[in-house]
């Protein structure tokens, strides 16, 4: 959830950390703050966006070579100046920022209250910080030792950066369940929740593992486990460019990322799909092909938009591979007692690779002998490291909170997996296989065509319906999950209530909502369900509903019935979602813009859900 940045080295730390916070603001933006360590410890924090913190610090002393910063998505305590991070210990010497939730904070707080500690915030973070200070004072130990002792006691998830006024060149960091990456420079180190604040300065990074503590000085990085045993840092090269996290002339990151999709889909296919040769090269699949071909069943585990990608994958794998598939919300799967056996394949789908519920669900499944395959975007992420095998989507950084290009990247990876496994298994013949590869190869150009030819029509529809109170999204077959995704995007970006349903389910309840004020979006591209969905549209029109239809170019039937029509190129129905979702992404964007909303940072949402 929250964004964390740290720096220690030769530079002025404040501008480095402030810029990093701006780049991480998509992870949380209800308050922010910075702690600077020089001759003394200074803490500045402010409710609201990072720009409001920046304005509040004008004219104040910001000189320091060590600093930590935080942009918050509230878990404990309402957004306010006093609940913003960093928090300062009661003794005033320590300051800390924290991403995660300390579940047993209440019992620890009661212990500290009995020792006359006073608390200035409502956060679990301040409780942990004062607990560390109390251990340090009463055990007469170092800050590092006190942190280690405290972390053995606490229950929950955390990524922590801690500074001590008496040790101004050192940042002590720790993680469990929340991401932390450390950038390695010459005589300097950078710390962050993800790599976006780091790539401007270095491409050499270390991903900190769960239950590790990092002692970071300008010219030294020491990793230890909670048993105080030194660990060897594994240095990796970042495969990311600075331009990828800039807007590139677009008004918003969301619009840029929608328009990135011809390139991001091509990057996902590059080096993997060889349509003319009839091959798909995916080492994560090839090296484990027997486990995938012989899977007793597959379970797609995901949250939010990634869950919708899993639903489409269910159609793909069952249709093309003839393998039973279940699609599970990770947040439910982890708390049930699911039946998991050796021979089951769990496919984890996550943009960030850090989704807390998905991670725990995978750990539980792995303990029961399941084979774990990760489909993630973030290289070096926790899910990528936990998985037995996997495939990166190569979608590039996604800064807008509402997922767009990450979703289509997931669909492309899952489609290639299904094609490859189905062909190897013999459940699709060579003719069908070659057709699918040719169709997939054409997707980037078709997405570019939609963006070029249909964006204006989508914007016109958005302006027409921006004041609607409710939307209904309907689809069948492969396009049913697209309807769910379209409804989710509209809710996220415009705050308009929207629901997605299989079109046939409309008669089992939702049709009661239909009147002349209800826009109904039909995802109605040409497929085997086409005639059925035409009948569903007639049922809506008979009740005076407003029909917005996403149809295949050349359609002459639905285009005569619908109030508004958006065209997409023809495609095999297995790949149609990669095209039909694009107008729905644009629709949510343009309605949000028409309502003058912050489409990159929707209220109450954060990009990566690293807490339950």
Classify the C-alpha dihedral 227-230-232-233 as positive or negative: positive
Q: How far apart are CA 20 and CA 193, in angstroms?
A: 10
607 in catalytic set: yes
Contact 494, 592 (CB under 8 A): yes
Annotated active-site residue in 42, 47, 136, 607: 607
Q: Shortest CA distance to 21 belongs to which of 29, 602, 178? A: 29
H-helix segments, 47-139: 50-57, 105-114, 124-139
Contact 175, 216 (CB under 8 A): no
DSSP, collapsed to helix, strand or coil, labels residue 507 as: helix
Q: Shortest CA distance to 97 belongs to which of 189, 31, 187? A: 31
Q: How far apart are CA 420 and CA 413, in angstroms?
A: 11
The DSSP 8-state label assigned to residue 208 in this structure reads P
Contact 468, 519 (CB under 8 A): yes
Q: How far apart are CA 160 and CA 526, in angstroms?
A: 52
Strands, DSSP E only, in 338-422? Answer: 345-350, 371-376, 389-392
Rg for the chain, CA atoms, rounded: 25
268 in catalytic set: no
Q: How far apart are CA 533 and CA 573, in angstroms?
A: 14
Half-sphere exposure of 136 (CA within 13 A, CB side): 20
Q: How far apart are CA 234 and CA 189, in angstroms?
A: 15
- Angle, in degrees to the nearest 10, between helices 577-594 and 443-453: 30
The DSSP 8-state label assigned to residue 543 in this structure reads T
Burial of 507 (0-12, 13-18, 19+ CB in 10 A): exposed
H-helix segments, 442-520: 443-453, 455-465, 480-494
CA dihedral 461, 465, 470, 471 (to 10 degrees): -10
Annotated active-site residue in 2, 268, 303, 321: 2
Contact 156, 102 (CB under 8 A): yes
Q: Which residues contact 332 (CB under 8 A, 6 or more apart)?
A: none
Contact 472, 549 (CB under 8 A): no
Q: How many CB atoms lie within 10 A of CB 215?
A: 18
**Catalytic site positions:** 2, 607
């Amino acid at each position: 959830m929250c964004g964390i940045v740290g720096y220690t080295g030769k530079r002025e730390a404040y501008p480095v950390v402030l810029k990093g916070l701006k780049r991480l603001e998509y992870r949380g933006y209800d308050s922010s703050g910075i702690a600077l360590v020089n001759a003394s410890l200074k803490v500045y924090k402010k409710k609201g966006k990072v720009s409001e913190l920046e304005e509040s610090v004008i004219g104040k002393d910001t000189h320091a070579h060590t600093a930590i910063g935080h942009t918050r998505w509230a878990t404990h305590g309402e957004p306010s100046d006093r609940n913003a991070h960093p928090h300062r210990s009661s003794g005033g010497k320590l300051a800390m920022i924290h991403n995660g939730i300390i579940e047993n904070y209440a019992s620890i707080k009661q212990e500290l209250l009995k020792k006359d500690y006073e608390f200035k915030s409502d956060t679990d973070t301040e409780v942990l910080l004062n607990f560390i200070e109390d251990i340090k004072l009463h055990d007469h130990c170092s800050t590092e030792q006190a942190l280690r002792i405290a972390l053995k006691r606490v229950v929950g998830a955390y990524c922590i950066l801690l500074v001590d006024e008496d040790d101004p060149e050192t940042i002590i960091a720790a993680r469990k369940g929340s991401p932390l990456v450390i950038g390695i420079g010459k005589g300097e180190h950078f710390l962050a929740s993800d790599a976006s604040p780091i790539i401007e300065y270095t491409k050499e990074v270390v991903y900190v593992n769960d239950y590790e503590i990092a002692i970071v000085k300008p010219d030294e990085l020491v990793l230890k486990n909670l048993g105080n045993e030194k660990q060897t840092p594994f240095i990796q090269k970042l495969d990311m460019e600075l331009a990828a996290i800039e807007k590139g002339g677009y008004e918003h990151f969301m619009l840029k990322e929608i328009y990135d999709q011809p390139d991001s889909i091509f990057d996902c296919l590059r080096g993997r799909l060889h349509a003319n040769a009839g091959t798909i090269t995916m080492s994560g699949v090839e090296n484990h092909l027997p486990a995938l071909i012989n899977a007793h069943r597959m379970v797609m585990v995901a949250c939010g938009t990634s869950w919708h990608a899993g639903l489409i994958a269910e159609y793909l794998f069952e249709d093309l591979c003839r393998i039973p598939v279940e699609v599970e919300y990770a947040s439910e799967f982890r708390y049930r007692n699911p039946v998991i056996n050796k021979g089951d394949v769990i496919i984890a789908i996550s943009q960030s690779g850090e989704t807390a519920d998905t991670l725990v669900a995978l750990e539980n499944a792995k303990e029961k002998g399941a084979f774990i395959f990760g489909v993630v975007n973030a290289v070096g992420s926790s899910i990528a490291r936990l998985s037995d095998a996997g495939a990166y989507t190569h979608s590039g950084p996604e800064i807008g909170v509402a997922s767009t290009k990450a979703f289509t990247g997931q669909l492309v990876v899952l489609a290639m997996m299904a094609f490859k496994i189905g062909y190897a298994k013999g459940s699709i013949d060579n003719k069908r296989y070659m057709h699918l590869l040719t169709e997939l190869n054409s997707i980037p150009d078709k997405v570019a065509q939609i963006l070029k030819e249909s964006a204006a029509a989508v914007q016109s529809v958005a302006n027409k319906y921006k004041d609607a109170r409710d939307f209904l999204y309907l689809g069948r077959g492969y396009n049913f999950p697209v309807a769910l995704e379209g409804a989710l995007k509209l809710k996220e970006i415009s705050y308009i209530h929207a629901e997605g349903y299989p079109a046939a389910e409309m008669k089992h309840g939702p049709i009661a909502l239909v009147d002349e004020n209800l826009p109904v979006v039909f995802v109605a591209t040409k497929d085997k369900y086409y005639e059925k969905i035409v009948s569903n549209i007639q049922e809506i029109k008979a009740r005076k509903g407003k029909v917005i239809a996403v149809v295949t170019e050349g359609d002459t039937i639905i285009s005569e019935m619908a109030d508004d029509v958006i065209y997409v190129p023809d495609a095999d129905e297995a790949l149609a979602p990669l095209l039909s979702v694009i107008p729905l992404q644009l629709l949510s964007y343009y309605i949000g813009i028409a309502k003058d909303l912050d489409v990159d940072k929707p209220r109450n949402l954060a990009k990566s859900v690293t807490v339950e």
